[in-house]
Structure 1
């Protein structure tokens, strides 16, 4: 691509009051309103009146800014350009929105959690956020991540397990084989907080939200997590809520003793890194193998709190054993084990291992959020940042729903937030007003015009007729 004109023949002037750079906010905020975001925030948030007045409109403004790409309070200024004031009411100044967030206390954050849960359930009515076939499980993944911060004025910042100064965000996501992950529950914690702290509460909230979506498929949801969450509180909460678990275990003496009882002929090859299939026999040739053994978790606790299940073990050759003085007489393996309560009739050993490895999908959600609203935590006040995280989750789930409405069978249904923003939200438009109606004049030959039209039509459809 090259310029058609000489540099001197092109000029730039910021002088058009009828232009907007993100016309896609119109259907996006319609979608948020149909999910009840403004009404729920107005009814449930009890932020002090002087700074918390019009809480519903302020939460909507914060969500709109994040949808348009804001990752700080100052970025909320992008809601106040060109013809935005003609399209939207109450486009608040960044200072107003910052003051609103700083009024939050822990109870207000929990109120906002309830709003996010109910908005998600309402979105699931309009868009199949968790599509699942008959008998298919919904996978609930639990993991935390460190959001790096700089300076010494961030409340709660500290050095956690990663060695990075930051705050700890714990997320619970849900996904199926045909649905991209969505976020069910979230919590911001101090940077030095251990991963399992408060995890049981998050698991309970996430499974309650999942039940509220009425996404039941006849199969128990499966909670997947790494070894940091292998504890009775988290596992017990999931089981009481009607879910199965698949949690990595630590190599303690009980686990090592169980692995030692696995016979040599019980190991089965699996598809793994560098695995190949013999062209003649069709047999899989792999260095990775799996086997399983019955296992009872938390045997040190009283009988009623012990959990029976299976210990599934994957082993690969240890190519760098500690014994470097002389070669070993026998093969040395590294073992990776996880505990699951799924019955073998439902999921055999190989399938259980492959399903457990799918837990890594939650890292995509962490990366998506850190490429957007969580690139920064904007306030020095911990509870303000906690509210910012919840609002970021609401915006994330809105983009998932918008992608499904716009392009259910295409790539936008599983697209990242950045892709939805580029294709459906950052669409420039010129406003024209006639007969009390506003027309958005959008770019000709926009590559995603069909998807945008589908989203716009769905969010601006007239209400259903009521028969009496």
Structure 2
């Protein structure tokens, strides 16, 4: 082994060659620029699309601060492979602050054009897969908190856990693992207030051939309010939304017959049941889907701490019991963790109910995308005190995940 100066002809990030090729094939920069429009008086230097894609490429190379753009810029060999060479941190921050509100929304329009092009390419590579993706479409809505520490950062607030956070609110096309629409709020922002608007924007960003198929939307209990359900109803989209474990639902659960349960699909010890429940101002076809999962106390699936998170999923009559008493109950009646879902999906038969629950359970796909944006890109951190710069950084991470999603689909070898 010989120690010496780094060889400028080598780079650790040769995978950028595939990313850059895909960005060129899909025309991501051109489509973003066409949708966003000019952000400067003079037509020179980096455009809006180049700035966002440049941030995305730097994050894919492991950079999680703005200064990482300068490190990426200093990688001579890497600059020959990156989609936007020469982007400096100060340039990127300055360009981000030139965006106006409508131009942030236009990013989603450009992204929708990218999805259309990608789907057309996929139809050439794997027609069966493209047809499958457009025949049955799922939109996931969710939020994730990004903790920050600067007390002067714009657009952040303390959440219920006492953390100072910004809160990306994202709609994804679950089947392709790509992003459709996104907002950046603070720790005080309730996603229910803007869920309908975000859903409509996500629907608009879907390719036309995908909107022509069956479209469903799913969300967790943070969206347990009628806004999203009504928005879905108005455009003919089926929905499934997690429900909070409130007292009326526990009373409904107590009325479920012992033979009203059917085994869940691919989930050991889980069963599902259906009950009548339609809150005020929800679509008339709304019903309640209940899932219960038997817990094994011998394997430590229930904590002795009454404040434990899983304790909240137990029946209220069992929630405060010490472990010894719970063990006695488990031998007689069983101890279950319960989840509630309000939906207008077809749950008219036990098989249909089990299938609806199985589909809803895969809502965790959006959590996988958040994991990719935080650990594969750099959404685990927001580097600036300016809200506009942090929005650009968020979109850089979301573009990184979207690029990776389409790269996997377009390069996968059909079976």
2:273 corresponding residue in structure 1: 291
Alpha carbons 2:79, 2:86 under 8 Å: kept: yes
Name the SS of the counterpart of 1:307 in structure 2: coil
CA RMSD of superposed structures (Å):
3.2
Displacement of 1:34 in angstroms is 2.8
Alpha carbons 1:159, 1:166 under 8 Å: kept: yes
Alpha carbons 1:52, 1:103 under 8 Å: kept: no
Distance 1:69 1:230, change over 3 A: same
CA distance in 1, matches of 2:59, 2:265: 40
**Greater shift after overlay, 184-193 or 33-42?**
33-42
CA distance in 2, matches of 1:133, 1:407: 15
CA distance in 1, matches of 2:6, 2:276: 70
Whether 1:245 and 2:239 are equivalent positions in the alignment is: yes
CA distance in 2, matches of 1:85, 1:396: 21
Alpha carbons 1:144, 1:170 under 8 Å: kept: yes
Whether 1:40 and 2:31 are equivalent positions in the alignment is: yes
2:306 corresponding residue in structure 1: none
Displacement of 1:361 in angstroms is 2.1
1:156 corresponding residue in structure 2: 155
CA distance in 1, matches of 2:171, 2:230: 16
1:195 corresponding residue in structure 2: 191
Distance 1:46 1:316, change over 3 A: same
1:255 corresponding residue in structure 2: 249
Whether 1:101 and 2:96 are equivalent positions in the alignment is: yes
Alpha carbons 2:53, 2:399 under 8 Å: kept: no
Structure with higher helix content: 2
Name the SS of the counterpart of 1:262 in structure 2: coil
1:399 corresponding residue in structure 2: 404
Displacement of 1:339 in angstroms is 1.1
TM-score (norm 2): 0.80
Whether 1:338 and 2:341 are equivalent positions in the alignment is: yes
Whether 1:310 and 2:307 are equivalent positions in the alignment is: no
Distance 1:168 1:86, change over 3 A: closer
2:305 corresponding residue in structure 1: none
1:360 to 360, 364, 376: 364
Displacement of 1:132 in angstroms is 5.6
Alpha carbons 1:51, 1:103 under 8 Å: kept: no
2:182 corresponding residue in structure 1: 186
Displacement of 1:124 in angstroms is 2.4
Alpha carbons 1:28, 1:398 under 8 Å: kept: yes
TM-score (norm 1): 0.71
Displacement of 1:168 in angstroms is 0.4
2:310 corresponding residue in structure 1: none
Provide, for residues 274-319 of structure 1, a one-character-per-residue CA deviation record: whole Å limited to 9, x for no partner.
x3xxxxxxxxxx3x432112332x32x3xxx643232111235659
Name the SS of the counterpart of 1:402 in structure 2: helix
**Greater shift after overlay, 366-375 or 327-336?**
327-336
**Across the two proteins, how many residue pairs are aligned to each other?**
379
Alpha carbons 1:51, 1:99 under 8 Å: kept: no
CA distance in 1, matches of 2:236, 2:131: 18
CA distance in 2, matches of 1:15, 1:253: 66
CA distance in 2, matches of 1:333, 1:28: 46
1:348 corresponding residue in structure 2: 352
Distance 1:132 1:337, change over 3 A: farther
Distance 1:225 1:258, change over 3 A: same
**Greater shift after overlay, 388-397 or 262-271?**
262-271
Alpha carbons 1:158, 1:165 under 8 Å: kept: yes
Distance 1:363 1:223, change over 3 A: same
In structure 1, stretches of 5+ residues that fail to align are 276-285, 411-468
CA distance in 2, matches of 1:270, 1:119: 37
Displacement of 1:409 in angstroms is 4.4
Alpha carbons 1:170, 1:188 under 8 Å: kept: yes
CA distance in 2, matches of 1:358, 1:85: 39
CA distance in 1, matches of 2:17, 2:200: 35
Distance 1:256 1:135, change over 3 A: farther
CA distance in 2, matches of 1:87, 1:271: 46
2:140 corresponding residue in structure 1: 141
1:443 corresponding residue in structure 2: none
Displacement of 1:188 in angstroms is 0.9
Whether 1:388 and 2:389 are equivalent positions in the alignment is: no
2:380 to 375, 380, 383: 375
Name the SS of the counterpart of 1:379 in structure 2: coil
Distance 1:154 1:342, change over 3 A: same
Alpha carbons 1:104, 1:384 under 8 Å: kept: no
CA distance in 1, matches of 2:43, 2:186: 26
